[in-house]
Amino acid sequence: MPNFYYPFVMDNTAKITIGEKTYDLNIIQGTEAELALDISSLRRQSKFITFDDGYGNTGSCESSVTFIDGDKGILRYRGYDIANLAENSNFLETSYLVMYGELPNSAELENFSDRVSNYSKLPIEVTQAIKALPLSTHPMGVLASGLQALGGAYPQFCTNNRGHDLESFDEAAALIISTVPTIASTRYRNSLSENMPSPSPSNTYCENFLSMMFGNEDGSGEIPKSVSNALDLIFLLHADHEQNCSTSTCRMIASGGANPFASVAGAVSALWGPLHGGANMAVIKMLNDIHDSGDDGSRFIESAKQGKTRLMGFGHRVYRNYDPRAKILKSACDEALEALGVSSPILSIARRLEEEALKDDYFVERKLYPNVDFYSGIILQALGFPTDMFTVLFAIGRAPGWLAHWKEIAENGKKIHRPRQIYQGSQLRSFIPILDR
């Protein structure tokens, strides 16, 4: 069996012994004291590879975008704590930070906001492509298809220099961030056979989105500031989350030289999976089912402890503490509902579930704390978004993170990503003619 030996991290090396042979491995230390064994030379030296089902213990890259400490409940974009950003920043400013590494000054933010605003109207070909899709197409399928069509409408941002045309990144990034809400709104209004008002340069990013989704066809009507602020906060909190399924997919695609539109479209498809981006939809279904059964949450809690039901919106693969985004959304939920002047019958159930779970030894011992999906679904439902669009909202918020990781690959990527496998299939067999089978 392999033996690891690293008494002094300062040596920057570790030793792995397999049988009678010992191999030296480099130790990589991150800026937050994370330690990793660099096994990139192990196969060449020993013919061994490592096995890590689901990549849960594998560092696939070095990145400077986001830091997470799941045990302490820490989330930082480019070194800035998520609570600090949520209190003082907004989605577009945070998007700039995530993609470019620093908070913008006034001129930089104005220039970036103008670029985003200028691209908010879709080319007619992209609108036609969206409307040509079957009405039964899921909104996430429409978003992925719309992004591919968008790349086709702007071929100047899709050059063949391994796809990594950094000179076009500023425009491509602004275009994608600007138009993902327009693609989503176009699909929604088309499903209702309604015309969509054109985006207005005088509106904020979220005001435009809410107007395109729910506003009058002539563009009249005012979006309450508190409502657009609630949506802006949700986008900000989802802007990036390290190497999750969709982000890793984006980086994988980008490593092959794909352009930002193809890479982000692939990330959208990865996010579509219910185990990744569909959790807030599951929370709403759970809360509605509890409410319809006449339960205040007490019976459901006991059922979850017996393994008969699953408490959705609690626990996280990374966080072993309270998800810092959930703390922020918990207070924002009250403010949003008050601003909308609506009451949510499932909110009191959600609060009771949280209160009971946080003091019940069964959930505490298992570190099942509320995650970001627990309250975001309630806010999105109160804002009027249909449940099948919840994951689209997630994707809109995550777009700057995906673009930031595409940019890292473009700047630093040295080779295409190509994981290994442990083959467990049949050994060499002879072909059997069909009459003899």
| Residues tagged active-site | 316, 373
Please give the Cα distance from 100 to 226 (Å, whole number). 28
Q: Strands 80-81 and 21-29: what pairing?
A: unpaired
Q: How are strands ordered across the β-sheet holding 35-38?
A: 3-5, 13-18, 21-29, 35-38
Please give the Cα distance from 82 to 100 (Å, whole number). 17
Please give the Cα distance from 83 to 75 (Å, whole number). 9
- Residue 63's region, left for phi above 0, alpha for psi from -120 to 50, else beta, is beta
- State the Cα torsion 355-392-310-308 to the nearest 10°: 140
From the list 153, 103, 107, the residue with the least C-alpha distance to 127 is: 153
Please give the Cα distance from 346 to 327 (Å, whole number). 18
- State the Cα torsion 265-266-269-273 to the nearest 10°: -140
Q: What number of other Cβ atoms are within 10 A of residue 123's Cβ? A: 15
Structure-token match 């995550």, residue found: 398
Contact 303, 309 (CB under 8 A): yes
Angle at alpha carbon of residue 344, lines to 275 and 383, rounded to 5°:
70
The CA distances from residue 187 to 72, 129, 138, 157, 182, in Å, are 40, 10, 9, 24, 9
Angle at alpha carbon of residue 382, lines to 380 and 386, rounded to 5°:
55
